[in-house]
Amino acid sequence: MSKKFSKQTLVPMTAAAIGVAMISMAAYAGAKSTKDGAFTAAQAERGKTVYDASCGNCHQADFYRERLTRFQDKPISQLFEVISTSMPADNIGGLSNAEYRDVLAYIFSITGSPAGSEELTEENIESINVGPVQ
């Protein structure tokens, strides 16, 4: 017995199939990493200023090379969550979200990731993974 589909049934089914395909494509596109230029040079420079004032006394670049490997292939947002809820030690959560993103840009720059043409933002932080550290 074959089932007949009406236009009212096929349109939502087609829309659903397109939606699934778009989600799959977005997940694949999410494979972008810090090695693909996830921040700008200007953002890293702003991050250096914040880093020097709030982070540099406790953490040197080698600290990040070791720690970033724990987040490799995971969204930057996971690293952002850890840092923004635990640092700086003397003022936990004391930076703005933009400052935390700028600091991350600086950290990525000193651990071998290249600058790109777009800043690390609230909108893209979920879709970019932490890449390998040099």
For residue 99, the SS3 value is helix
Instruction: Provide the pLDDT for residue 59.
Output: 86
Domain ranges of the chain: 34-110
Question: Residue 12: its pLDDT value, please?
Answer: 52
The pTM score is: 0.76
Cα-based angle 38, 58, 35 (whole degrees, multiple of 5): 15
What per-residue confidence (pLDDT) applies to 107?
96
Q: What distance in Å separates the CA atoms of residue 99 and residue 102, rounded to the nearest whole number?
A: 5
Instruction: Give pLDDT tens digits along the chain (134 positions).
Output: 555 545 555 445 444 444 444 443 444 445 799 999 999 999 999 999 999 999 988 888 778 888 899 999 999 999 999 999 999 999 999 999 999 999 999 999 999 999 999 999 999 999 999 999 87
